Amino acid sequence: MFVCEARGVSLSSVPVPSGWYPDPSGARQWRVWTGTQWSELTRPYGDPAPARSIVSDLSLIQALHRLVRYGITGVFAGISILVSVLAHWPGTAHPVSEWFAVAACNVAVALAVIGSACFAVAARELEGHWTAWAFIPGVNLFAVNALVTKRLGGQPLRRVGSEAILMLLFVAEFHAEPWLCLAPVIVAVGQSQWTTTLIDHLLNSSSPSSPVTS
């Protein structure tokens, strides 16, 4: 006859697998546990929790979120400000003051650098490794756009080509055709929509399952 002694088991010593769990903050939503910590990724309770671990795509999803929030805005705002200031540089037909031109250029460069860094990280996550073109401003913008379009089953060459033409027209002709200021807005909105669609696709690509409860 064997006698077994029951002992308390500390849940903290048992590794919890990564996946969707009820938000520990008490909010009525799911939150992703990466296996070591809680992430910032959440879903309302009304949406089913994916069965496949989202951790494999978590870094890509986070990079794409940063791209939508900061990268696209930073790059296109920086380009727009820089082109506008150069079109009204001191000495041109409709100049701005020198101090304003210098300050605006500094702001434009800062925005473009921040945005380009977000594109570089997104390029790394989309490719799975660092590439030389990820660090080239402008190139990484259209390359990421092509990768996002390809993942969604679109036509990268056609889309990237049309957006590149719009941006070249804006840079070359804005001083004579101010209405071309719409070009970067159109391209930025398009990139945001396609990137957001890819994020939704990654979040919804798995079949639903029941959450783990304690």
Q: How confident is the model at residue 53 (pLDDT cuts 50, 70, 90)?
A: low
Phi, psi of 57 (to 5 degrees): -105, 0
- Quickly list H helices, 2-152: 55-66, 72-87, 98-127, 139-151
Q: What is the Cα–Cα distance from 148 to 131, expressed in whole angstroms?
A: 16
Tell me: pLDDT of 49 over 60. Answer: no
Find where tokens 């594109």 sit: 119
Round to the nearest angstrom and report the end-to-end CA distance of the chain: 33
For 70-97, what is the mean pLDDT? 94
DSSP string, 143-170: HHHHHHHHHTT--HHHHHHHHHHHHHHH
pLDDT in the model for residue 52: 52
**pLDDT per residue over 5-40, tens digit each?**
444 334 455 677 777 888 898 888 888 887 788 887
In whole numbers, what is the pLDDT of the chain averaged over residues? 85
**More reliable by pLDDT, 46 or 32:** 32
**pLDDT per residue over 177-195, tens digit each?**
999 999 999 999 999 999 9
